[in-house]
Chains A and B, each alone.
Chain A
């Protein structure tokens, strides 16, 4: 009996905890901190911002950054810093929710179509090819036009548009993993298809999936910006980084801070997610665990 107690105990003290390994890696730490910063901005937006996002200071239009307006003001005299802090909420939520929709559905469809051949695969891939055939912005606009303009529908639209990419990536890696010996071994052990998929194929196809997810996150934030610009995303005066960027277009030479700050935050967010994704992929590789 003492043997058994020891077995379970040892398991708990293992240092192969993903978060632990992630934070030990300098790049992982950098990405994690970048995202933490944005998340904190989004959560504590009311305490951080100096002004209301829609508050118009008609005397102080297009002010350069100064001690009152840290990042300057826009053409209506609204405080850019406050808008960026609130915009973090929109951008993060849109990015995360829409990528979760796309990644979740895409992953499941990809695994199923990669593992089961024949009619299921053909049907799924046919639908994906149809989705793929539309330019993504056009498709997203179409979906929003059907569902109606709202932030939730924007997220759904961006999510649907991104499903095919995930399905394809995951299916490709499942197909290559399926032919490996350990899958045949799992079958010879007598595992159910479901368990082979969940325990053997899915974990091993995570690497390309995670990279794809971080890429999709950045493109989702940008798609939201484009849609807001076209008037089918976030409704003004609600700020999002994308819409701020597009509003600044006309004033770029006059007030470059209108472009620079939202762009900086978009870059910071996307870069952090990409770095984190990279580090996460490395950490999830069992060969790096000691």
Chain B
């Protein structure tokens, strides 16, 4: 048994573009283009990137909520892409997914009790009493009272909804969870509260977690390792502290430079990023970042760099920063 609970190898997810009367496939949107990383037991691994870079699609492809086009996902020693639909369904007890928007991820016609008992009924054969004990234990952790068990999602605030949604994902005691921007739909004032809850539960339940986010501050706070994604590919991955202190990839640096700083004495550096993210249906040749990169030269425009080990981390760049 390897030290990694989850290993993703060359994951690719393409969406066909169909045109015309007979729905001919004329091309592909390469939402996830070659993503590889590994997550250890109990580790929080973050994926950051701009919106539209394919991080959510990557997350959904890992747990096969979207069928990946190619690549391997090895979870707990098993290759998920080789499992049948029924096998993967049973496996979901161990790997859960937390959605971004709690306003739409909870069925409006189910009350909290129904929402929380459903995963238990699906995966365990519990008596009514055992189930209620587990539900009571869980709502105690997420700060929902027993009276509120009979309420419906619309009667809760955004923060409460997301806590219920987290509880729903964690009540089967999974070993691995993907959190897809779990706080970005929430008001800033309650983001910290939900994040703390998530982190406490992660520690308490010894969960491995992939945390998808575009918020660099949140990522730094929560994760030990991070992968920076751009246009479907990982640009740089490694220890969060190291990358934040000294990004080696020009894109990571541009991304980190864009984080607002509250120290007025610190000299403001304007973001070095120009232009827009290219269309993933028609990506630039060579390095996907080359059209916007200040260090790009001929080889960057011709040849796509592969993710390789460099100075203690993985980086996909022909001209890394020193």
List the interface of chain A (C-beta within 8 A of B). Answer: 1, 3-4, 6-8, 10-11, 14, 180-182, 184-192, 195, 199-200, 203-204, 286-287, 289
Interface residue from B63, B109, B110 paired with A188 (Cβ < 8 Å): B63
Chain B positions within 8 Å of A191 at CB level: 89, 118, 122
By the criterion CB–CB under 8 Å, are A188 and B96 in contact? yes
In angstroms, how far is the closest chain A Cβ from the Cβ of B136?
A: 6
Q: Is B106 an interface residue (CB 8 A)?
A: yes
Which stretch in B28-36, B148-156, B235-243 binds the other chain?
A: B148-156
By the criterion CB–CB under 8 Å, are B133 and A182 in contact? no
By the criterion CB–CB under 8 Å, are A189 and B118 in contact? yes
Q: Is B90 an interface residue (CB 8 A)?
A: yes
By the criterion CB–CB under 8 Å, are B90 and A190 in contact? yes
By the criterion CB–CB under 8 Å, are B65 and A190 in contact? no
Q: Is B55 an interface residue (CB 8 A)?
A: no
By the criterion CB–CB under 8 Å, are A184 and B118 in contact? no
Chain B positions within 8 Å of A189 at CB level: 92, 96, 118-119, 122, 168-169, 172
By the criterion CB–CB under 8 Å, are A186 and B99 in contact? no
A11 to B150, CA, bound (A): 7
Q: Is B200 an interface residue (CB 8 A)?
A: no
Chain B positions within 8 Å of A287 at CB level: 108, 152, 154
A190 to B90, CA, bound (A): 6
In angstroms, how far is the closest chain B Cβ from the Cβ of A5?
A: 10
Given A182-B104, A182-B105, A189-B96, also A4-B129 (CB < 8 A): yes
A8 to B136, CA, bound (A): 13
A4 to B273, CA, bound (A): 58
Task: Return the CB mask of B138-173 against A: 1 if under 8 Å, else 0.
Answer: 000000001101101010000000000100110010
Interface residue from A1, A6, A192 paired with B89 (Cβ < 8 Å): A192
By the criterion CB–CB under 8 Å, are A190 and B119 in contact? yes
Given A184-B99, A204-B109, also A7-B149 (CB < 8 A): yes
A3 to B150, CA, bound (A): 15
By the criterion CB–CB under 8 Å, are A190 and B99 in contact? no
Contacts of B95-132 to chain A: CB distance below 8 A:
96-97, 99-101, 104-110, 113, 118-119, 122-123, 128-129, 132
A130 to B143, CA, bound (A): 55
| Besides the known contacts A185-B99, A189-B92, 12 further A-B residue pairs in the complex with CB atoms under 8 A apart | A3-B136, A14-B150, A181-B100, A181-B101, A182-B104, A189-B169, A190-B90, A190-B123, A191-B118, A199-B107, A203-B107, A289-B152
| B contacts with A: majority SS | helix
A186 to B114, CA, bound (A): 12
By the criterion CB–CB under 8 Å, are A188 and B154 in contact? no
By the criterion CB–CB under 8 Å, are B107 and A190 in contact? no
Chain A positions within 8 Å of B12 at CB level: none
In angstroms, how far is the closest chain A Cβ from the Cβ of B140?
A: 10
Question: Nearest chain-B residue to A1 (Cβ)?
Answer: B129
Among A187, A189, A199, A287, chain B packs the most CB atoms within 10 A around the CB of A189
Question: Nearest chain-A residue to B129 (Cβ)?
Answer: A4
Given A4-B132, A185-B99, A188-B63, also A180-B104 (CB < 8 A): yes
Q: Could you show 29 A-B contacts with beta carbons less than 8 Å apart?
A: A1-B129, A3-B133, A3-B146, A4-B129, A7-B132, A7-B146, A8-B132, A181-B100, A181-B104, A182-B108, A185-B105, A185-B107, A185-B168, A186-B118, A188-B97, A188-B169, A189-B96, A190-B89, A190-B92, A190-B122, A190-B123, A192-B89, A192-B122, A195-B122, A199-B118, A286-B109, A286-B152, A287-B152, A287-B154
Q: Is B93 an interface residue (CB 8 A)?
A: yes
Given A4-B132, A180-B104, A203-B109, also A188-B146 (CB < 8 A): no
In angstroms, how far is the closest chain A Cβ from the Cβ of B90?
A: 7
Among B101, B109, B150, chain A packs the most CB atoms within 10 A around the CB of B109
Chain B positions within 8 Å of A188 at CB level: 63, 65, 92, 96-97, 99, 169
Chain A positions within 8 Å of B110 at CB level: 199
A184 to B59, CA, bound (A): 13
Chain B positions within 8 Å of A185 at CB level: 97, 99, 105-107, 165, 168
A185 to B90, CA, bound (A): 15
Chain B positions within 8 Å of A10 at CB level: 147, 149-150
A288 to B104, CA, bound (A): 18
Chain B positions within 8 Å of A190 at CB level: 89-93, 119, 122-123, 172
Question: Nearest chain-A residue to B133 (Cβ)?
Answer: A4
A1 to B172, CA, bound (A): 22
In angstroms, how far is the closest chain A Cβ from the Cβ of B66?
A: 9
Chain A positions within 8 Å of B101 at CB level: 181
A182 to B165, CA, bound (A): 10
Chain B positions within 8 Å of A187 at CB level: 65
A112 to B277, CA, bound (A): 40
Chain A positions within 8 Å of B154 at CB level: 286-287
Chain A positions within 8 Å of B106 at CB level: 182, 185
